[in-house]
């Protein structure tokens, strides 16, 4: 009997992680049942105001050894959620799904909407109540059922893309303490592989694989295949034991929240908390604020203006925005949010230069006799040389085009340390070419996830040091 288990909204800013709960459930189920695929970690719209942290839901695909085991498995998972979820947190509202057989087709539409827009609990629950093969459970408001449904529906999308993440978890007694990972080993690991990504932000000297909160995660290595992320793990050096680890199949860094999105040339239809791409003309730039925040206006084809905002955490990306001038045509992508003043604005995540406006500098001409720069006598009144004391009435100002260091057709991104989980920072064209010339393209379709995870489990022993790992 095949079942799908999906849950969301179990963590909080005070601790826990939904993937930790997923790992606990997977290792428990593997003792008696077969895992049909790597557990899925599906990131959804990053702009949802009531998300706990990364807005990620977990999906497990399981083949039960006996159909009579369903009730027992269900009760075990419910107990795990009730025990580990941060239900005491005001912002945490867990939701849990059990699906027998194939998932309902409407979950595909929920997934498509949830990647870039807001889906309500009411509209999802109305659909769930009509399904006979789906059981769902809610704690408190049960907002997690929205993410749980969307995460299942993601695999039904025609344009779904996948990456992988190996996550190592700390022992409970280490939660909330400083993570003991060698920064140099992270850099060395990053240098030795092409197909893992967002490991280290060299511009801002920031490690990206280790979070900084009270959650159980020690590290997360993201890459293109299961073999890549587990192989490079050996390069890491850390001075604390792991409780366990898990390999997730994810939609992280795929730009999936921008797929199938209409390029907006009419800004009047924009709604708060949505993910969108706008095309327009820069019509106004505002003075830079003291904290380094930038703001500019773009106009659509109807003359409707929309503010675009770039904040200090975007770091060197702000240099690109400073180079823009009125008249530039741009494509900008990001999150539609309300500003402190109450107006809608776009928090910019990337800008693509469609065409650059011409910009010129005007200089007084040089003296024909001594070569010194002439002084203007006033508008259309000629020039005077201070050194030669001669006047010239037939000379004009010299016009020089300003060459800005921006490229038309190029997409500029925020630095890696400012990326959202779904935002792309990996050149998928390079990966595509590599797959076409190697056998790696078949790996993700022929790999036995259960056997791979069993090998992973056998390597997870107390006080494991990466250099003694059996992974890979």
CATH number at residue 281: 2.40.50.1010
Q: Are residues 98 and 14 in the same domain?
A: yes
Q: Quick check: is 325 in a domain?
A: yes
H-helix or E-strand containing 153? helix 144-154
Domain count, the chain: 2
What is the rounded CA–CA span in Å between residue 367 and residue 375? 9
Q: Are residues 457 and 409 in the same domain?
A: no
Q: Quick check: is 276 in a domain?
A: yes
Contacts of 245 (CB under 8 A, 6+ apart): 23, 166, 167, 168, 169, 456, 460
Q: Output the pLDDT for position 98.
A: 98
What one-character DSSP code corresponds to residue 212?
-
| Burial of residue 441 (number of CB atoms within 10 Å: 0-12, 13-18, 19+) | middle
Q: Output the pLDDT for position 148.
A: 97
Q: What is the largest CA-CA distance in the chain?
A: 105
Expressed as residue numbers, the domain containing 272 is 257-358+402-418
What is the rounded CA–CA span in Å between residue 375 and residue 377? 7
Residue 253: helix, strand or coil by DSSP?
coil
Residue 392: helix, strand or coil by DSSP?
strand
Report whether 237 contacts 466 (CB < 8 A): yes
Q: Are residues 157 and 211 in the same domain?
A: yes
Q: Are residues 93 and 150 in the same domain?
A: yes
Report whether 471 contacts 246 (CB < 8 A): no
Q: Quick check: is 441 in a domain?
A: yes
Q: What are phi and psi of 218, to 5 degrees?
A: -90, -45
Phi-psi region of 269 (alpha: psi -120 to 50; beta: other; left: phi over 0): alpha
Q: Quick check: is 228 in a domain?
A: yes
Q: Are residues 20 and 144 in the same domain?
A: yes
Q: Quick check: is 19 in a domain?
A: yes
> Distance from CA of residue 104 to its chain's centroid?
27
Q: Are residues 280 and 341 in the same domain?
A: yes
Q: What are phi and psi of 112, to 5 degrees?
A: -60, -40
List 400's β-bridge partners, or say none: 361
What is the rounded CA–CA span in Å between residue 422 and residue 449? 24
- The answer to pTM > 0.95 is no
Q: Output the pLDDT for position 235.
A: 84
From 173, 233, 199, 163, select the one nearest 459 (Cα to Cα).
Answer: 233
H-helix or E-strand containing 170? strand 163-170
> Distance from CA of residue 471 to its chain's centroid?
27
Query: Positive or negative, the Cα torsion across 99, 102, 106, 112?
Result: positive
CATH number, position 195: 3.30.70.2200
H-helix or E-strand containing 322? helix 317-323
Q: Are residues 225 and 305 in the same domain?
A: no
Q: Are residues 102 and 43 in the same domain?
A: yes
Q: Quick check: is 371 in a domain?
A: no
What is the rounded CA–CA span in Å between residue 152 and residue 111? 8
Q: Quick check: is 364 in a domain?
A: no
Report whether 16 contacts 10 (CB < 8 A): yes
Q: Are residues 251 and 317 in the same domain?
A: no
What is the rounded CA–CA span in Å between residue 425 and residue 431? 12
First-residue to last-residue Cα distance in the chain: 31
What one-character DSSP code corresponds to residue 409?
T
Report whether 356 contacts 408 (CB < 8 A): yes
Q: Output the pLDDT for position 389.
A: 86
Q: Are residues 412 and 453 in the same domain?
A: no
Distances (CA, A) of 133 to 29, 105, 130, 168: 21, 13, 9, 34
Per-residue pLDDT of the chain (472 residues; tens, 9 = 90+): 999 999 999 998 888 999 999 999 999 999 999 999 999 999 999 888 877 778 899 999 999 988 889 999 999 999 999 999 999 999 999 999 999 999 999 999 999 999 989 999 999 999 999 999 999 999 999 999 999 999 999 999 887 789 999 999 999 999 989 998 999 999 998 888 878 888 999 989 999 999 988 899 999 999 988 988 888 888 888 888 889 999 999 999 888 888 766 666 678 888 899 899 999 999 999 999 888 899 999 998 888 999 999 999 999 999 999 999 999 999 999 999 988 888 899 999 999 999 999 999 999 999 998 989 999 998 888 999 998 988 999 898 989 899 999 999 999 999 888 888 888 776 555 555 555 555 555 455 568 899 888 887 776 544 444 443 333 3
Q: Output the pLDDT for position 461.
A: 44
Q: Are residues 40 and 176 in the same domain?
A: yes
Residue 168: helix, strand or coil by DSSP?
strand
Q: Output the pLDDT for position 426.
A: 60
Report whether 48 contacts 67 (CB < 8 A): no
Q: Quick check: is 367 in a domain?
A: no
Distances (CA, A) of 413 to 147, 348, 370, 419, 424: 27, 9, 49, 9, 9
What is the rounded CA–CA span in Å between residue 361 and residue 400? 5
What is the rounded CA–CA span in Å between residue 266 and residue 159? 25
Q: Are residues 197 and 85 in the same domain?
A: yes
Q: Output the pLDDT for position 431.
A: 53
């Amino acid at each position: 009997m095949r079942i799908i288990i999906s849950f969301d909204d179990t963590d909080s800013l005070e601790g826990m992680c939904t993937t930790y709960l997923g790992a606990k459930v997977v290792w428990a189920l593997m003792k008696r049942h077969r895992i049909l695929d790597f557990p899925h970690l599906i990131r959804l719209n990053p702009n949802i105001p009531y998300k706990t942290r990364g807005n990620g839901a977990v999906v497990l695909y399981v083949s039960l050894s006996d159909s009579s085991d369903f009730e027992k498995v269900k009760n075990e998972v419910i107990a795990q959620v009730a025990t580990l979820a941060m239900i005491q947190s005001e912002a945490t509202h867990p939701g849990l799904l059990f699906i027998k057989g194939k998932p309902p087709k409407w979950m595909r539409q929920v997934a498509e909407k949830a990647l870039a827009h807001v889906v309500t609990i009411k509209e999802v629950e109305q659909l769930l109540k009509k399904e006979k093969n789906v059981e769902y459970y809610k704690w408190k408001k049960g907002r997690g059922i929205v993410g749980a449904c969307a995460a299942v529906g993601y695999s039904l999308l025609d344009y779904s893309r996948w990456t992988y993440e190996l996550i190592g978890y700390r022992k409970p007694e280490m939660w909330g303490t400083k993570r003991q990972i060698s920064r140099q080993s992270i850099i060395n690991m990053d240098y030795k592989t092409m197909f893992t990504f967002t490991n280290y932000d060299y511009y801002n000297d920031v490690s990206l694989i280790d979070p900084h909160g009270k959650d159980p995660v020690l590290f997360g290595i993201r890459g293109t295949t299961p073999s890549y992320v587990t192989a490079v793990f050996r390069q890491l050096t850390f001075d604390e034991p792991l409780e366990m680890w898990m390999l997730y199949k994810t939609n992280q860094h795929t730009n999936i929240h921008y797929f199938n999105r209409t390029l907006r040339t009419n800004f009047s239809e924009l709604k708060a908390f949505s993910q969108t791409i706008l095309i327009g003309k820069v019509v106004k730039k505002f003075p830079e604020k003291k904290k380094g925040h930038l703001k500019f206006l773009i106009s659509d084809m109807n003359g409707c203006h929309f503010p675009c905002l770039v904040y200090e955490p975007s770091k060197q990306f702000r240099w690109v925005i400073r180079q823009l001038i009125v008249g530039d045509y741009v494509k900008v992508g990001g999150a539609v949010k309300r500003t402190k003043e109450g107006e809608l604005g776009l928090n910019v995540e990337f800008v693509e230069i469609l065409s650059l406006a011409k910009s010129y500098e005007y200089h007084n001409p040089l003296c024909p006799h001594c070569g010194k720069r002439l002084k203007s006598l006033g508008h259309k009144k000629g020039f005077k040389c201070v050194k030669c004391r001669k006047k010239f009435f037939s000379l004009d100002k010299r016009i020089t085009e300003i060459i800005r260091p921006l490229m038309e057709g190029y997409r500029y991104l925020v630095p890696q340390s400012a990326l959202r989980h779904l935002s792309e920072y990996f050149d998928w064209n390079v990966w595509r070419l590599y797959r076409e010339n190697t056998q790696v393209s078949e790996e993700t379709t022929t790999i036995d996830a259960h056997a791979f995870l069993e090998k992973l489990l056998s390597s997870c022993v107390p006080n494991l040091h990466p250099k003694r790992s059996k992974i890979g």
